[in-house]
Amino acid sequence: MAILEASEIVKRFGPVTALSGAGLQVEPTTIHGLIGPNGSGKSTLLHVIAGRTLPDGGRVVLDGADITRAKPAQRARAGMSIKFQLARVYHEQTVADNLLLALQVRDGIPSLVLSRTRRRHQERVRRLLDDFGLTHVRDHPAGELAHGEQQWLEIAMAMATEPKLLLLDEPTGGMNRHERERTGELIRAAATTCAVVIVEHDLDFIRDLCDRITVLHQGTLVASGTPVEIERDERVAEVYLTRV
Amino acid sequence: MQRVLTPAWWLADGGRRVGAIALVAGIVIAGPLLDGAGESFWMMALTRALILGVLAVATNVAWGVTGIFTLGQAVFFGVGAYVVGLLATREDVVALESLAGAALGAGLLCGLVVGAFLFFGRRRVGMLYVGLVTLALSYALERLASVWGEIGAGNGITGIPLPTLLGTEIEPGISFFWVAVVTLLVVLGLAWAVMRSQFGMVMRAIRDDDERAEFLGYRRPIVQLVVFAATGGVGALAGGLYALEEGFVSPTFLGVSLSTQVLIYVLLGGRDSLVGPLVGVLLLEVGGQRVQEELPTEWPIIVGAVLLLVILFLPNGLTQLGRRRRRAAAPRPETAAEVSGGDPRGE
Ligand SMILES: Nc1ncnc2c1ncn2[C@@H]1O[C@H](COP(=O)(O)OP(=O)(O)OP(=O)(O)O)[C@@H](O)[C@H]1O
Ligand SMILES: [Mg+2]
C-alpha cells in the first residue's frame, strides 16, 4: 500500500491555478522525485501535502488516514516531515538545540519545563551531528552556518523523529557539486527507513537518486514512472526535457 | 555546581550574569538601607517598582520570549487588583496567602479564557491581531470598571487594609517591601528556570518562526495558551500586591496606559532578558520619580524620546550593552536558493 496518496489536487491562488488535478503516489521506503519547469506547482503540491495550504479540491491520504484538512502539527505527529525550499532553521539557537527542538516534539510540557528529556535525546543529537558532518559547529548559533550546512541541518531536523514520509523541497539549492553528492548519500541513507519525496531542478541528481519520478506541468501530472520510463516518455520530452 | 565556582562562569556573556546578580542584590540591600535612613518615600517607591517589576518580568516571558504581542497586560494586573480589593473590603479576607492565591487563580482563568479565544481556531495568529484584541480588551475593561457602580465605578475600591501573613499582621513600612522582594525573587527564579529549559527553546521557536515549529509537530496554540495563562496569573498576582500596598484599586489598573507602560519597561531593559524588564521599571519608576513629579506634563515626552533612542540604537534594550555580539549577520538563504533553483535546466 502506498504511504502517501495525493489525488486530484486543485489549488487556486486568486486568478492563478497552481494545481489542476495533480497527484502523487509514493510507496514506502522509496525515493520519489518531483520535477517540472518553474511554476509548474511542485512546491504548492508539497505544501498541500504538508498542510501549509489547504487544497480547493482533492484528497491527501497518509498511511491510510485522510489528512486533507489536518493541521500541520497533526501531520507532523502522524509521521510527516518537511524541509522547505528556503532553509528555515532557528538562527539564534545553537545547531544542537535545533536538533533537540526537532527531537523533543512529543515530550509533554511538564517534562520540557523541567528539562527532563535533554539527556535522553543527547545520544541521538550526537549521532545526527555526526551523520550530517555538523559536529564541529554544534554549539554555534545556526544563523552562523554556511548555506549548505543550514540545508543539512534542516534535513537532519526533518529526519530526527524518524518520519514515515520526508518531503524535501530543493535540498541541494545553492550547494556545490561535492555538497550535492554528500546530500545524495544522506537522502539515500534516510530512505532505508522512510519514503522520501524530493523536488529538484538538477535532473542528473534526480535520475541517479530516485526510484520513481513524477513530472508536473502547469499544475497537472504529465507522467509518473521509473527514471528510465520518464526519459523515454514523449510528453515529458515535449514539456520539459526538450528545454535542456 | 562546580562550574559556578569558576571565574569563567561569572564572566560568561560579557558580564551580564554578574550585572544581573549585582542588580538583584542591590535591590535587596536598598530596602533596609533606605528604611534605616528614614527615606520611607523612596522605599515605598522602590516597593511599587518591584511589584510593577513582577508584571514586567511576566510580560517579557509572554512577549519577549514567546512573541505573544500583548498590548493588554494590565487586564490581568487590574483583575488581580479588583479581586483582592473586593475580597479584602467586602468579604473581610485578610490572609495574604488567600488573597494572593485568589489573584493568581483569577489571572490564570482570565488567561485561559482570553487565550483560548486568541490562539485557537485560527490557522495563523498574527502579531497585530493579538495586539489589537488585547488592547481593545484593556480599553473596554477600564471603561467598564469606571462606570460599574458595584465595584466602585470611577472611584474604584478604597480602604483596603494591610493583610496578615501566616496569621501575623503585616506592619506598614519595610514589611511590605520584603513581601515584594520575595515575590519578585520567586518570579525571577521561575522565569529564569523556564527561559533556560527545553520549554524555553520551544517558546523562542514559536516566537521566531511559529509555522516552522508547527511543521516540526509543536501545537502552537497550546504552548501559547500555557504561557499566556501562566504570565497572566503572575500579572494578576502583581496587581493584587499593588492593591494591598497602595490600599486602593482604580480602573486605571486595567487600562491602556499601564499596558503600554509595561511594554516600555520591557523594551527599555531588553526583550528576552531576565532582568532587563526590571532595569526598565527601576529607571522609569525610581530613577525618573523626581522628574515625573517636577515635570508631569513633559514626562511622557521624555519617556517617548528615550524609548525612541533605545529602539533606534539598542533594539534589544539597555541590557544589550553587556551582551557579546554573537549573532553574526548570516546571509539570508533566499538569494542562493532562488538563484540556483531559478534555472529549470539544471547545470
Ligand atoms: N502563495 C501564492 N500566491 C499566489 N500565487 C502562488 C502562490 N504560491 C504559488 N503561486 C503560483 O502558483 C504557481 C506554482 O508555483 P510553485 O511555487 O508551486 O511552482 P514550483 O514548481 O515550485 O516552481 P519553482 O521551480 O520555481 O520552485 C506559480 O504560478 C506561482 O506563481
Ligand atoms: Mg518550488
Q: Is residue B346 in some structural domain?
A: no
Average model confidence (pLDDT) across chain B: 85
- Average pLDDT, consecutive stretches of 10 residues, N- to C-terminus, chain A (244 residues): 92 94 93 92 94 94 94 94 90 96 95 94 95 94 91 93 92 86 90 92 88 92 90 81 49
- What is the residue with the minimal CA distance to atom 4 of ligand 1? A13
Give B320's pLDDT tier (boundaries 50, 70, 90).
Answer: confident
**Pick from B208, B215, B218: which is nearest to A92 by CB?**
B208
Q: Which of B105, B116, B136 is nearest to B259 (CA)?
A: B136
Q: Does any domain span residue B109?
A: yes
- Reference A207, options A181, A188, A221, A226; nearest CA is A226
Q: Can you tell me which atom of ligand 1 is nearest the CA of A17?
A: 12
Contacts of B272 in chain A (CB under 8 A): none
Q: pLDDT by residue (tens digit) across B61-113? A: 999 999 999 999 999 999 999 999 999 998 888 889 999 999 999 999 999 99
Between B29 and B187, residue with greater pLDDT = B187
> For B245-283, what is each residue's pLDDT tens digit?
999 999 999 999 899 889 999 998 888 888 889 999 998
The mean per-residue pLDDT over the stretch B159-187 comes to 88
| CB–CB contact B216 A91 (8 Å) | no
Per-residue model confidence (pLDDT) at position B340:
36
Asked if the structure places residue B123 within a domain, the reply is yes
Q: What angle do CA B55, B279, B45 make, to 5 degrees?
A: 70
- Residues lining ion ligand 2 (Cβ < 5 A) are A 43
Q: Is A36 in the pocket of ligand 1 (CB under 6 A)?
A: yes
Nearest-neighbour CA in chain A from B119: distance (Å): 14
For residue B203, what pLDDT is reported? 97
Domain for residue B186, yes or no? yes
Please work out whether the CB of residue A40 comes within 6 Å of at least one atom of ligand 1: yes
pTM above 0.80, yes or no: yes
CA–chain centroid gap for A141, Å, is 23
The distance of A67 to chain B (nearest Cα, Å) reads 14
Residue B93 within a domain? yes
What is the pLDDT, as a whole number, of residue B4?
A: 64
Q: Does residue B241 fall inside a structural domain?
A: yes
Q: Best mutation site among A71, A101, A177 for testing chain B: the one with the most B CBs within 10 Å?
A: A101
Q: Is residue B131 part of a domain?
A: yes
A151 Cα to chain B: minimum distance (Å) = 9
Asked whether A73 and A191 are in contact (CB, 8 A), the reply is no
Reply yes or no on whether the pLDDT at B48 is more than 80.
Answer: yes
pLDDT at B5 over 80: no
| pLDDT score of B333 more than 80 | no
Query: Among B232, B263, B183, which residue's Cα sits nearest to residue B78?
Result: B232
d(CA A100, CA A122): 8
Taking residues B214-242, report their average pLDDT: 96
Q: Mean of the pLDDT values across residues B117-123?
A: 81
pLDDT at B184: 96
Range of the domain at B104: 65-254
Q: What CA–CA distance (Å, rounded) separates B110 from B115?
A: 8
Q: What total number of domains does chain B contain? A: 1
Of residues A42 and B316, the one with the higher pLDDT is A42
User: Is B115's pLDDT higher than 90?
Assistant: yes
Question: How far is residue B22 from each of residues A6, A152, A225, B30, B44, measured CA to CA in Å?
Answer: 60, 42, 68, 12, 21
pLDDT at B171: 81
Query: To probe the interface with B, which of A105, A107, A155 has the most B CB atoms within 10 Å?
Result: A105
Report if residue B230 sits inside a domain.
Answer: yes
What pLDDT, on a 0 to 100 scale, did the predictor assign at position B175?
A: 87
Say if residues A142 and A153 touch (Cβ distance below 8 Å). yes
Average pLDDT (B317-333) is 54
| pLDDT > 70 in chain B, percent | 88
